[in-house]
Amino acid sequence: MKIPVAILGATGSVGQYFISLLENHPWFEIKALFASKSYDTYAATWRATLPRPNWLNDATVTNTQVDKIIKSGARIVFSALPGELAGSIESALQSKGIAVFSNASAHRMDGDVPIIIPEINSDHFSLQTGKKGILIANSNCTTAGLVMGLAPLMPLGIKSVRLATYQALSGAGYPGVPSMDILGNVIPHIGGEEEKIETESRKILGNLENGSINPLNADIQASVFRVAVANGHMESIFVELDTTISASDLQSLYKNFEIPEVVSSLPSTPFATFKIFDHPSRPQPIKDCMEGKGMTVSIGSLKARGTSVSMKLLVNNVIRGAAGGSVQNAELALQKGLIKQ
Ligand SMILES: NC(=O)c1ccc[n+]([C@@H]2O[C@H](COP(=O)([O-])OP(=O)(O)OC[C@H]3O[C@@H](n4cnc5c(N)ncnc54)[C@H](OP(=O)(O)O)[C@@H]3O)[C@@H](O)[C@H]2O)c1
C-alpha cells in the first residue's frame, strides 16, 4: 500500500510541481492539499511545466492548520510554505510523529535539521535519530546546484568559491517579481539569497562529528541576479583548490562521480547525475532545464588552470532545487527506515 502524503502550499510554484511529481509515484499517494484558504475545487491557475492531473478539477484545498493536516491521515508532509509561516507548522507536525520534508528556509540552519542532497550527504540524516517525527530540509534552490557542482571536487580540497548567479523568475514564487520591474532588465539583488548560498553550502558539504555538523572550511562568496527567465538558475562558478588538476582529470571527476547505491535506485534519482557539455554555448535554461526530468545538473565550460577550476552550471530550481529534491529525500528516508511504514 502506498504511503499517504499531504502537500502544504499546494497552489504555489513549488506546490504544483509536488502535485505533478507525486502523481503516479510508486511509493507515495497524495491524500490532501493545503494552502492559504479553502477552495472547493483547485482554483489555482496551473503554471508548472509538467502535466496537470485531471483529478485536480474536483480536488478540495484546505486551509493550512496543524489539526486538519493530522486528520488528513498523511504520514509524510511536503511543505512548500512561505518561510515565515513554515517554522511553527513544520515543528508541530514533526512533534506529532509526521515525517516533514520542507522547502522553506525556516529550519535549514537548525543544528539538528539536516539539509539533505542524497547524492552528497545522506549520512546527515542521523541528526534526526531518535525523534518522534522527522524534519528534513531542502537547500535553497541555487545552493542545490552549487553543492552538486562542488561535490566531485571535494577530494581535492576546496579553499574558496566565488560565484555569480542568474536566477529564474519561478524562484521568486507566484506572482513573484512585477513584470514592469523585470522585463528587459536584470535585478542585482534577491533578499537574503547570497547569505543562504554561503551558509547552506558549507553545512551540506560539512562533516558529521560527534552528532553535529562541522561546516566545510571554505570561503564561499556569492553574487546573485534575477533575470527574465521562467525556469532554471544559471551559475558561473570559480573554485580554488588545495591541489592542481589537469583538464582531463577534471572531466573524469564529473563523468565518474559515484553516488551511493541506495541513492541510485531511488525513483527520483536521474540516470545521469551530471550532463557535461562540450559546446561553449550550453547549458541554457530553455534547452537544458528538463535534463533528467529536471533532476540532472548541467555543466558547461568546465576548465582547469593549475589549482583553479571554473564552470557554468544550470540547475532546475523548481525540481532539483525544490519539489524533486524533497521527493527524492523522502524516498531515501523511507529506504533508510526513517519513515514508519
Ligand atoms: N520557487 C522556487 O524555486 C523555490 C525553490 C526552493 C525553495 N523554495 C521555497 O519553497 C516555498 C514555496 O515557494 P513558492 O515559490 O512555491 O511560493 P509561492 O508560489 O508564493 O506559493 C506559496 C504557497 O504557500 C501558500 N500560502 C501563502 N500564505 C499562506 C498562509 N498564510 N497559510 C497557508 N498557506 C499559505 C500559498 O497558498 P495560496 O495560493 O492559497 O495563497 C501557496 O500555495 C518557500 O519557502 C520558498 O522559499 C522555492
**pLDDT score at 250:** 98
- Tens-digit pLDDT profile for residues 36-86: 988 888 888 899 999 999 999 999 999 999 999 999 999 999 999 999 999
Q: How far apart are CA 212 and CA 196, in angstroms?
A: 19
Q: Measure CA 118 to chain center.
A: 10
pLDDT score of 22 more than 90: yes
Pocket probe for ligand 1: among 7, 14, 200, the residue whose CB has the most ligand atoms within 8 Å is 14
**pLDDT score at 281:** 98
From residue 258, alpha-carbon distances to 126, 184, 223, 264 in Å are 21, 41, 30, 9
In the structure, which protein residues have their CB atom closer than 6 angstroms to any atom of ligand 1? 9-15, 35-37, 44, 64, 80-83, 85, 103-105, 141, 170-171, 173-174, 317-318, 321-322
Q: How far apart are CA 11 and CA 34, in angstroms?
A: 8
**pLDDT score at 317:** 98
pLDDT score of 340 more than 90: no
Lowest mean pLDDT among 31-40, 67-76, 93-102, 103-112: 31-40
**pLDDT score at 37:** 85
**pLDDT score at 287:** 98
Show which residues are catalytic: 141, 233
**pLDDT score at 11:** 95
- Residue whose CA lies nearest to ligand 1 atom number 25: 9
pLDDT score of 185 more than 80: yes
- Tens-digit pLDDT profile for residues 262-314: 999 999 999 999 999 999 999 999 999 999 999 999 999 999 999 999 999 99
Atom of ligand 1 nearest to the CA of 170: 1
- Tens-digit pLDDT profile for residues 223-264: 999 999 999 999 999 999 999 999 999 999 999 999 999 999
Helix (H) or strand (E) holding 237: strand 233-241
Residue with cell 529550519: 107
Confidence at 341, pLDDT banded by 50, 70, 90: low
123 phi/psi in degrees, rounded to 5: -65, -20
